[in-house]
Structure 1
Amino acid sequence: MGLVPYNVYDIGILPPTDWRLFYCVVGRGDYMPNQKNIDQVKLIQEQFENNEVVILTEFQGLNVSEIGELREKLRQADVRYKVFKNRLIAVAAGDLGIEGLEPYLYGTTAVAMADDPATIAKVLLDFGEEHEDLKIKGGILNNQVIDAEMAASLVHMPSKNQLLAQVVSGLNAPIYGLVYVLKAGNPVSGLANVLSGTIRQFSNVIQAIADLKENPEGT
C-alpha cells in the first residue's frame, strides 16, 4: 500500500486553496509528494499573472521533431510554451478568479504565454496551417476567458512593436500631445501605459463580442 496525491478540489469538496492537495492510502506502491503539485500550481499562477495573453493548445499527434520545431518558433518569438496538467491549470485559474476555463481543459494541454497577443496567435496559426494536429482550444486575455475563435482573432491586433512605432510616430504631433503621453515624466512609463491601455481596450471588445454571441438580440 502506498500514498498518492488526492486532490479534493477535483470532486468539489473543498475550495481551491493550497491545502486542498492531500495524500490518500490506496492499493498501489507509488506516491508523489503533494508539494510538487502545489509548486506547479504556483508556477502556473505566476505565468498567468506575468503574461498578457495565454493560449491553450492541443498538440496530440505531433511527433517529437514537429514539437521541437514549434517550440523553437515560439522561443524565437519570445513566447513561453509549457505542458501542464489540466486539473492544475483549473486550480490555478480558480485561485486567480478566472472563471469559465474548464471547457477548454481536455486532452493534453500545452500553454503558450506571451505579452504580445498578435505574435503568439500568428506563430500558432501559421504552424497549425502546416500541421493540422496543432489546435487552439481557447485562452485567457487580461483574466478573461476567450474561445478558440477569439484567440485566433488576436492575430489581427497590432503587435506591440507596431503600437510602439505608432506612439513614436505620434511624437511628431503638437507639443501638447507629447506632454499628455509623457505626463508622468517618465517616457518608458508613458509608452508602457499606452501599450497596456490598448490591450485592455481590445480585451473589452473581445468581451463585447462574447456577450453578443450569447445574447444576439440584446434582451
Structure 2
Amino acid sequence: MLTKEKKRELVANLAEDLKKSGSMIFVNFKGLNVAQMNSLRSMVREKGGLLKVVRNTLLRIATEKAGFDFTKEDEYGLFVGPTAVVYRKEDDADILTILKDLVKFSKENENLSFKGAYIDGKLINADQVIEYSKLPSREELISMLLMRMQAPISGLVFTLSGILRKFLYVLKAIEDKKGGGEQG
C-alpha cells in the first residue's frame, strides 16, 4: 500500500507526464495475463509511449492537475474498473501510431478494450477511438503531402524533357533530310 506522500508524488509525476503528452488513451486490461501485459507495455514503449496502471482515483486527480476537463468521463466510464492510461513519453512519438498498434493488439487479444481517449484536445468514446486509428499518422501525412508537392514538379520535368526530346527528333529529322539530299 502506498503512503500518502508516495501517492502525492505519483500523482504529481503522472500529471506532469500527461500535461507534457497532451494526449492519452484509456484502456481496460481486465483478463490480460502478465505475459500479455508485458508485451503490451514493450510495444507501447517501442513507439515512444508509456502504459501506466494507476488507481482510478489517483488517475482522475492527475488528469485534473494536468488541466484536463473530463466532464463526460462518467458517460464513457474512463475511471471505472481496471484502467490503464497510455500516453506519449517522448516528444517525437505519435499518439496515432501508438493507437494503431493498440487497436491491432486488441484484435489479437480480446481482453484489451478501449474506454476512450483524449486526442487533439477532444475527449472521444471507445467507438471513436477505433475510427481515429484508421487515420493516417503524422509521418504518413507528411509523406502524402510531399508526394503531392512533388507531383507538379515531376510533371513539369516530364513535360520539359518531352519538349526537349521532340526538339531533338526534329533536329535529327532535318539532319537526315539534309544528309539524305546530299547523298542522292
For normalisation by structure 2, the TM-score amounts to 0.69
Structure 1 moving runs of 4+ over 4 Å: 170-174
Which residue does the alignment assign to 1:36? 6
Mapped pair 1:156 → 2:137 = no
Mapped pair 1:134 → 2:112 = yes
Mapped pair 1:78 → 2:52 = no
2:70 alignment partner, one of 70, 95, 99:
99
CA distance in structure 2 between the partners assigned to 1:56 and 1:69 by the alignment? 17
Name the structure, 1 or 2, with higher relative contact order (CA <8 Å, separation 6+). 2
Mapped pair 1:110 → 2:94 = no
Structure 2 matches for 1:183-202, cutoff 5 A?
none
Per-residue deviation, 1:52 = 4.1
Mapped pair 1:62 → 2:53 = no
Pick the structure with greater CA Rg.
Answer: 2
1:124 alignment partner, one of 78, 102, 106:
102
Per-residue deviation, 1:158 = 1.4
User: What amino acid is the match of 2:130?
Assistant: A
CA distance in structure 1 between the partners assigned to 2:42 and 2:63 by the alignment? 27
Distance 1:53 1:153, change over 3 A: farther
**2:44 counterpart SS class:** helix
CA distance in structure 1 between the partners assigned to 2:116 and 2:4 by the alignment? 28
Identify the structure with the greater helix proportion: 2
**1:56 counterpart SS class:** strand
Per-residue deviation, 1:171 = 5.4
Mapped pair 1:88 → 2:62 = no
User: How many residues are aligned here?
Assistant: 145
Distance 1:107 1:39, change over 3 A: same
CA distance in structure 2 between the partners assigned to 1:98 and 1:144 by the alignment? 10
Over aligned residue pairs, what C-alpha RMSD do you find? 2.4
Which residue does the alignment assign to 2:159? none
Per-residue deviation, 1:82 = 1.1
Identity of aligned residues (%): 27
- Name structure 2 gaps, 5 residues minimum: 153-184
CA distance in structure 2 between the partners assigned to 1:104 and 1:82 by the alignment? 14
Per-residue deviation, 1:144 = 2.6
